[in-house]
Amino acid sequence: MIIYFSGTGNSKHVADVISKKTGEKVVSMSDCLKKMQFDFKLKKGERIGFVYPVYYWGLPSIVKDFVKSMSIEKYGKHYAYSVATCGVATGSADEDLAKLLSKRGIKLNASFAVKMVDNYTLVFSVKNKEKNDKKNENAKETIENIAFLVENRTSGYHNPYRSLWMFSPIAHVSYELGRTTSPFKVSQDCIGCGICVKNCPTNTISMEYGKPMWINKKCSQCLSCLHHCPVNAITFGPLTKKNGQYLYDETK
């Protein structure tokens, strides 16, 4: 079983590649959270994987909430692993996950990481499609290699992007304080399609009089709503509009 969270498709793609290699099923954390499904059962010899994006050198709030609620029946000597997808550096995200999982009785055998396009458009631009394609193309070999190592139940720490991990707690405080929804704004370009509502993993957006409203004060800040909008009508702060939109392109 491969349990993943993904805002813009990078982590979903990694989960899908591993699934193709191992034949094991993919489970979406967002779907489980929406359906309040937290109990899982492993088959004999099944691997259990967690694939997620790095947020502020730590874990997305969704991943933390999910792992705290999850229970795995029949977990014994199963091979357990995690894969972080990041744009620059993972900080201590994988160690944070290992600690949370160990509280649920799961001991990770292996941790992996891969660099893909950075969807944090509050700072970074994703406008250069050629540059994006090149970055994800470069990640292909790493992802295939991770899938191979998972298939063969390889143990160990395989993360070359851990740099600056010692500052992770400081960086992550700004995530917990900053993931408010008040900076979200919708422009006149909005066509009222509801795609942002459908793609929000935390049910934070509601359509009111044909326009989206952010009904919770905080969210995971996954930016899925912003990147999925067909007319780029959603902004978060001054830079996101000009920094562009990104979704992993499955056709590449």
Ligand X SMILES: Cc1cc2nc3c(=O)[nH]c(=O)nc-3n(C[C@H](O)[C@H](O)[C@H](O)COP(=O)(O)O)c2cc1C
Q: Contact region for ligand SF4 (CB under 6 A) — 52-60, 141-149, 211-219, 238-246?
A: 211-219
| Binding of ligand SF4 by 63 (CB under 6 A) | no
| Binding of ligand SF4 by 60 (CB under 6 A) | no
| Binding of ligand X by 61 (CB under 6 A) | no
> At closest approach, how far in Å is the CB of 31 from ligand X?
15
| Binding of ligand X by 184 (CB under 6 A) | no
Q: Contact region for ligand SF4 (CB under 6 A) — 8-16, 25-33, 125-133, 188-196?
A: 188-196
Spatial distance between the Cα atoms of 29 and 73, rounded to a whole number of angstroms: 17
- For residue 78, what are its two tokens? 């199963």
| Binding of ligand X by 236 (CB under 6 A) | no
Which of residues 160 and 194 has its CB atom nearest to ligand SF4 in the complex?
194
The per-residue DSSP string of 18-75 comes to HHHHH-PPEEEHHHHHHHT--EEEPPTT--EEEEEE-BTTB--HHHHHHHHH-EEET-
Helix H segments across the chain? 10-22, 29-35, 61-69, 93-103, 129-151, 168-178, 195-199, 224-228, 240-243
**Cα pseudo-dihedral 225, 229, 233, 238, rounded to 10:** 50
Cβ of 77: how many Cβ atoms within 10 Å? Answer: 9
Beta bridge mates, 185? 235
Which of residues 32 and 78 has its CB atom nearest to ligand X in the complex?
32
Binding partner selected for residue 85 from ligand X, ligand SF4, none, CB under the kind-specific 5 to 8 Å limit: ligand X
Binding partner selected for residue 55 from ligand SF4, ligand X, none, CB under the kind-specific 5 to 8 Å limit: ligand X
Q: Map residues 214-233 to x or -, x wherever contact with ligand SF4 holds by CB under 6 A.
A: x----xxxxxxx---xxx-x
